[in-house]
Amino acid sequence: MKLLVTGGAGYIGSIVTRQLLAAGHQVEILDDLSKGFRDNVPDGVPFHQLSIHDVAQVLTPDAGFDGVLHFAAKIAVEESVSNPGLYWDTNVRGTLDLLDAVRAAGTPRLIFSSTGTVHGNVSGDDPSAKITEDAPVAPTNPYSSSKLMIDLMLAGECGGSNLGAVSLRYFNAAGASLSDAGHLGERHEPETHLIPIALQAAAGDRGEFFLFGDDYDTPDGTCIRDYIHVEDLATAHLLALDNTEPGQHKIFNLGNGNGYSNKQVIDVVREVTGAKLPVTLAPRRDGDAVVVVASSEKARRELGWVPTKPRLSDIIADAWTFYQYDKGRS
């Protein structure tokens, strides 16, 4: 297929691009490089340094794209609380601009990066409860609200056209793609995610590591998340591309179904890196949900998706290999 990847110079989009190319697809990337990196774009892949708002310049009726994978977005929960307008503009209005282009071009397929956090605290009362696609939605911050709005927009768009769309609701993406061609991994600036921040601290590259809250209603008082290896996430995109159906919007939750508390994650970071990793307790972070763990039974059943690296220690080991590689080249 000929595919447009928005946000393909970022963390997840670049790793999905690597898998799409390996599977023989033809890829073009649109990214404004506000957060992504030009060197994440493989040689020979047409690159359009453009805002998502200008996507119609690339996704034209004549361009012949068979599908779009839409990663371009603002992604930081805390920033979304302090600056919600940025999230409505980039994520919601940006996707409206994309849908206008998709409609005008008659593009048949769209895969969207949604998030498990659209459900908010649905499993808060029962930490063992896994979140299914039909669980109630109750986002706790504007970032997650923006993703839910887009899921709803896609449902409506498919209902009125031949577009086949899939929302992949990622739980917590982590790890890296290690390859002789060069490793790809997480290098957000500023970094907000637990695992890369803990690795920076373990490497001695960060003054202090702050643990946001230890008074939650969980066994050790810290929040619980479901970490999924980014390469397993990427594979789901290829399966979803083959699973779109005209006029239908489908949703799949992507996680391992294993909840790890923030304290457990820190312990695994200590094991993998051999560092002591001192922790400074800090207040709760605005907008955080308490327990977020996926049921991915639907993705396994309908897409045939099987995560290959479910162990948290393997996920963190790959992230650590990437961290050292990235540090070595900068």
Ligand X SMILES: O=c1ccn([C@@H]2O[C@H](COP(=O)(O)OP(=O)(O)O[C@H]3O[C@H](CO)[C@H](O)[C@H](O)[C@H]3O)[C@@H](O)[C@H]2O)c(=O)[nH]1
Ligand Y SMILES: NC(=O)c1ccc[n+]([C@@H]2O[C@H](COP(=O)([O-])OP(=O)(O)OC[C@H]3O[C@@H](n4cnc5c(N)ncnc54)[C@H](O)[C@@H]3O)[C@@H](O)[C@H]2O)c1
**Burial level of 330, CB count in 10 A (0-12/13-18/19+)?**
exposed
Beta-carbon contacts of 122 under 8 Å, excluding residues fewer than 6 positions away, are 129, 131, 135, 136, 138
Closest to ligand X by CB, 285 vs 300, is 285
Size of the site for ligand X (CB under 6 A): 22
Closest to ligand Y by CB, 36 vs 307, is 36
Which one of 131, 211, 272, 316 is in contact with ligand X (CB under 6 A)?
211
Of residues 270-299, which lie at the interface with ligand X (CB under 6 A)? Answer: 285, 288, 292
216 assigned to active site = no
**Which residue is closest to ligand X by CB?**
223
Q: Which of 11, 87, 143, 227 is the catalytic position?
A: 143
SS3 category, 97? helix
**Binding window for ligand X (CB under 6 A); candidates: 1-9, 97-105, 189-197, 313-321:** 189-197
Query: How many CA atoms does the CB half-sphere of 133 hold within 13 Å?
Result: 19
Angle at 300 between CA 143 and CA 7, to 5 degrees: 35
User: Before 283, cis peptide (omega within 30)?
Assistant: no
Q: Is 80 in the site for ligand X (CB under 6 A)?
A: no
Of residues 250-269, which lie at the interface with ligand X (CB under 6 A)? Answer: 262
Closest to ligand X by CB, 89 vs 191, is 191
Which of the listed partners (ligand Y, ligand X, none) does 223 bind, with a CB threshold of 5 to 8 Å by partner kind? Answer: ligand X
Q: How far is CA 291 from the centre of its chain?
A: 18
Q: Is 193 in the site for ligand X (CB under 6 A)?
A: yes
**Binding window for ligand X (CB under 6 A); candidates: 50-58, 70-78, 87-95, 246-254:** 70-78
Which one of 4, 11, 196, 319 is in contact with ligand Y (CB under 6 A)?
11
Give the DSSP per-residue string, 184-228.
B----SS---HHHHHHHHHTT-SS-EEEE-S-SSSTTSS-EE-EE
Write down the least CB distance from residue 276 to ligand Y, Å.
26
Tokens of 89: 């503009």
Tokens of 292: 């977020």
| Active site residue ranges | 143
